[in-house]
Chain A
Amino acid sequence: MNLKISNATLLAFVPAILCAQSASAPPDLTGVWGIYRGGPGAEASFRPPAPAPLLLKPEYAKPYEERRAKESAAAQRGEQLDNTSARCIPYGVPTMMSIAVYPIEIIQTPKQVTIISEAFSEVRRVYLDRPQWKIEDVAPGYYGRSVGHFEGDTLVVDTVGIKPTVSGYRGMPHSPQMRVTDRIRMLSPEILHDEITIDDPVVLEKPVTYTLAFKRMPADYEMVEFVCDNNREYVDEKGIVRLKLHDK
């Protein structure tokens, strides 16, 4: 059979070929992403779903609720109880992904995705070309060890090795067995969601999932350094946070 393919026919296939390539290539998440505010008239699909309820096992739920009640009572008195944040200690995974209005920066390369939070300049390194270790082989820390892979357009990040003293989601306690899964996906070139699932068979009745929404920051935005070198807050002998005032 004598096949004759004209230039026009070939050109007609080029977009299809490019589309096939782009469909198989992972999206580039690189950029600086700020908290997505939504607001009136916002695209409904960009709004993150409501978080799932936090269900702790009874032996953890009781002290957790007692602590929350003490914090609430202190707030009613105009006081704040000691916490790691008052001591300017970084937030760690997963809380660092969503601190007030501070943006995060994502830097994606073929073998690694790096996530930097502007608040406290916290860094997560997500290895794309390595297997995860057993939890007991990871030195407990604020960021643990993260590996990731793409499932279609979604970067799936698996993190273990967060030490129990790192304040958890909504202040929840957690064990060395905690596993955090981020599913990070761009809904549009300007909108990114991070669906975070926390599983801890020791502490949780069932995994808890919540979703963060981000909007791409302007292209000329430059991340601001954050070194906590002027923390005037301190904790007094009663465990209450106070503020140092200067005399002059």
Chain B
Amino acid sequence: MKLLHAFRARLCVVAMGAACLALASPVWAHHSFTMFDMTKRITLTGTITSFEWTNPHAYIEIDVPDEKGTVKHWSIELGSPSILMQSGWKFNTLHAGDKLTLIINPMKSGQNGGFLSQVTLPDGKVLFNGPRQEPPPAPTQK
């Protein structure tokens, strides 16, 4: 999923923070977003089961109850710790048991997975999946 992909001038990839470089020089992304639908954004509210501060990506594992109260588990991919630290994250920003609201780009496959766009922490603070570059489109409710 991490394609050696040449960025071009003004080519922007939203949300990862590794992106949107107004450069004339070739810079390689560590990641492409092919398996995620970057045109869709959905909101998940649930309880974290684990927060993995790891490379090449960090992950949020979260249990999300649906309208009927049935809990479904989701795996949410983030940028790497290095990229996240550039937008205010720390290794202990999240903990198992935290109740969160996430906005994600879902997987095209329809599986319960996605790429984080932003998270609202229990204290109301909003963090993004790397340095923000442009306003995101409005999310649709899950």
Q: Could you list which residues of chain A lie within 8 angstroms of chain B, going by C-beta atoms?
A: 35-39, 47-51, 71, 74-75, 78-80, 83, 85-86, 88, 91, 95, 98-102, 118-119, 167, 169-171, 210-213, 224, 226-233, 241-243, 245-248
Tell me the nearest residue of chain B to A88, going by C-beta. B56
A74 CA to B35 CA in the complex, in Å? 11
- Report which of A98, A231, A241, A246 forms a contact with B27, defined as CB distance below 8 A: A98
* A residues near B35, Cβ cutoff 8 Å: 78-80, 241-243
Interface bracket on B:
35 or more
Q: How far is the CB of A190 from chain B (nearest CB, A)?
A: 17
* A residues near B54, Cβ cutoff 8 Å: 229-230
A121 CA to B30 CA in the complex, in Å? 14
B34 near A230 with CB under 8 A, answer no
Q: What are 27 A-to-B residue pairs whose CB atoms are below 8 Å?
A: A35-B27, A36-B23, A38-B22, A48-B25, A50-B24, A75-B34, A78-B34, A79-B35, A86-B1, A98-B25, A99-B27, A100-B27, A101-B21, A101-B131, A102-B30, A119-B30, A171-B4, A224-B82, A226-B81, A226-B82, A229-B55, A230-B52, A230-B59, A233-B2, A243-B107, A245-B113, A248-B49
* B residues near A101, Cβ cutoff 8 Å: 17-18, 21, 83, 86, 130-131
A98 CA to B83 CA in the complex, in Å? 14
B112 near A98 with CB under 8 A, answer no
Identify which of residues 43-97 in chain B touch chain A, using a CB-to-CB cut-off of 8 Å: 49, 52, 54-57, 59, 61, 63, 73, 75, 77, 80-83, 85-86
* A residues near B81, Cβ cutoff 8 Å: 224, 226
* A residues near B83, Cβ cutoff 8 Å: 100-102
Q: Which 4 A-B pairs have the closest CB atoms?
A: A230-B54, A100-B18, A85-B2, A224-B82
Tell me the nearest residue of chain B to A95, going by C-beta. B28
Secondary structure class of chain B's binding surface, majority of residues? loop
* B residues near A86, Cβ cutoff 8 Å: 1-3
* B residues near A248, Cβ cutoff 8 Å: 49, 61, 63, 73
Tell me the nearest residue of chain A to B18, going by C-beta. A100
Interface residue B141 (Cβ < 8 Å from any Cβ of A): no
Q: How far is the CB of B68 from chain A (nearest CB, A)?
A: 19
Q: How far is the CB of B35 from chain A (nearest CB, A)?
A: 6
* B residues near A99, Cβ cutoff 8 Å: 27-30
* A residues near B24, Cβ cutoff 8 Å: 38, 47-50
B34 near A80 with CB under 8 A, answer yes
A91 near B28 with CB under 8 A, answer yes
Q: How far is the CB of B90 from chain A (nearest CB, A)?
A: 11
Contact A245-B75, Cβ < 8 Å, known A39-B22, A167-B4: yes
- Report which of A37, A39, A98, A247 forms a contact with B28, defined as CB distance below 8 A: A98
Q: How far is the CB of B77 from chain A (nearest CB, A)?
A: 7
* A residues near B30, Cβ cutoff 8 Å: 85, 99-100, 102, 119
* A residues near B29, Cβ cutoff 8 Å: 99-100
A31 CA to B12 CA in the complex, in Å? 28
Looking at B27, B37, B83, B108, the one whose CB has the most chain A CB atoms below 10 A away is B27
